[in-house]
Amino acid sequence: MLRDFSSAAVSRRSFLAQTAAAAALSAAVPSLLRGEDKVASKEPLYKISLAEWSLHKTIFGKKLDNLDFAKTAKEEFGIDAIEYVNQFFKDKAKDEKYLADLKKRADDLGVKTLLIMCDGEGDLGNPDDAKRTQAVENHYKWVEASKYLGGHSIRVNAKSAGTFEEQTKLAADGLRRLSEFAAKLEMNVIVENHGGLSSNGKWLAGVMKLVNLPNCGTLPDFGNFHDYDRYLGVEETMPFAKAVSAKSHDFDEMGNETRTDYKKMMKIVLAHGYHGYCGIEYEGGKLSEAEGIMATKKLLERVRDELAAG
């Protein structure tokens, strides 16, 4: 069929005129653009998840099975997003039946799996090339398991040995190779400040810059900076954060965490544009695990309300 070029020209002029008018209207009435912001403002400043390690005494004591973690998070604590720990199903990473059961139980409850925290699979920054390669490959199965469960990441450690500079290069090499594998599955590899040089915010940020891959990031933990200033450490690692760990130990009579100023810390987190999940990781001894989880949740909720109001 022959095209009516004269009509096409008219239509094009009309389209251009309408586009120009729309652009002018948008500039003159910025409230049209703010309508989207109003919808976004209904979302909480950040969301709350539960790290399975908060219940490690209960699980190691055989009082809770890993398969029931999602149910406990939802029904006992009112939390619908969880972070698994590989230690609690160490031999199940490739067990399709087990993973299917784990996934179904969470899905049936409307509980979202965010990530798997991985330990005991070797040092990603091992100075020995063969051992470093083995550590990288040991983590593959957890990337696949987290992907299957609906997670976005695996949390790893960046343990190494040697000088500051040597460990930077070694850890970056292992993380880069693991992240390249994870990228094929559209998954992230995130590093927690978890002892050694990883608890030095400057060092960990330097490793992230050296890896320089979009799916390799951090999981800043409020309480794992040890002798390093925790607020500075979070400030330095938040630019790369894909998750946040709200570590807690003890609380005062006002419900505030005694080691970390949560309001100050969450201001730092939010200042970096992070509005994702903050995972409760209670490790105290004065309160039971259940009480500690609820105390941390209440604190996070109170701080969130105060920051939203302020």
> Would you tell me how many other CB atoms lie within 10 Å of the CB of residue 196?
18
* Among 264, 278, 206, 275, residue whose Cα is nearest residue 230: 264
Structure confidence by residue, pLDDT tens digits, 215-248:
999 999 999 998 999 999 999 999 999 999 999 9
**Whether the predicted pLDDT of 42 surpasses 90:** no
- Alpha carbon distance 60, 290 (integer Å): 15
Q: Calculate the alpha carbon distances from 267 to 196, 235, 263, 272 in Å.
A: 26, 10, 6, 9
Quote the tokens at residue 239: 């630019």
Q: pLDDT band at residue 41, thresholds of 50, 70 and 90?
A: low
Structure confidence by residue, pLDDT tens digits, 190-210:
999 999 999 999 999 999 999
> Would you tell me how many other CB atoms lie within 10 Å of the CB of residue 267?
14
User: Do residues 122 and 151 lie in contact, with contact meaning Cβ atoms separated by under 8 Å?
Assistant: no
Quote the tokens at residue 305: 């309300």
The pTM of the full predicted model, rounded to 2 decimals, is 0.86
pLDDT (0 to 100) of residue 310: 85
**Whether the predicted pLDDT of 152 surpasses 70:** yes
